[in-house]
């Protein structure tokens, strides 16, 4: 049997660093149509483990995109779903080392500011602000 000339795209997520209020994750490989359904459960698993260990005190989720290979509208949808999950919990997303094509898609769709908008903690005085 000959090897498949088009192997399935791969996606992995690794924890780079963590403390009670900050978590740093690296995204590797593809975040596209074929893998975007893996992104949300993978991040949720890390967030759940963090909350188990530290409680609901996480405030900053840093995502490192340096090893991203591909990103499309399905990946963008998964990233927006992550924002919908984290923002109400008071967790601000920070995006680092974005490849040009990633930044361009965020720019063209106008979501960069939305994704990285500062989240107010649910128990903080800022949460009461309109």
**Is the pLDDT assigned to residue 123 strictly greater than 90?**
no
pLDDT tens digits along 58-108: 999 999 999 999 999 999 999 999 999 999 999 999 999 999 999 999 999
Share of the chain above pLDDT 70, in %: 85
Burial of 55 (0-12, 13-18, 19+ CB in 10 A): exposed
Where are the chain's structural domains?
11-120
- pLDDT score for 126: 40
- pLDDT score for 18: 87
- pLDDT score for 94: 97
Cα–Cα distance, 76 to 79 (Å, whole number): 5
- pLDDT score for 70: 92
Q: Three-class SS of residue 66?
A: strand
The neighbouring-strand residues paired with 13 are: 27
Share of the chain above pLDDT 90, in %: 78
Pick from 46, 41, 99, 95: nearest CA to 69 = 99
CATH number of 11-120: 3.30.750.24
**Mean predicted confidence (pLDDT) in 107-115:** 93
């Amino acid at each position: 049997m000959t090897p498949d000339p088009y192997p399935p795209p791969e996606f992995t997520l690794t924890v780079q660093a963590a403390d009670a209020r900050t978590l740093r994750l690296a995204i590797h490989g593809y975040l596209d149509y074929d893998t975007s359904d893996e992104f949300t459960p993978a991040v949720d698993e890390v967030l759940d483990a963090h909350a188990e260990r530290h409680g609901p005190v996480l405030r900053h989720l840093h995502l490192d995109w340096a090893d991203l290979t591909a990103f499309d509208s399905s990946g963008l949808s998964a990233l927006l779903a992550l924002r919908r999950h984290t923002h109400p919990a008071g967790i601000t997303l920070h995006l680092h080392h974005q490849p040009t094509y990633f930044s361009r898609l965020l720019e063209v769709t106008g979501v960069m500011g939305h994704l990285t908008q500062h989240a107010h903690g649910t128990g903080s005085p800022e949460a009461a602000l309109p």
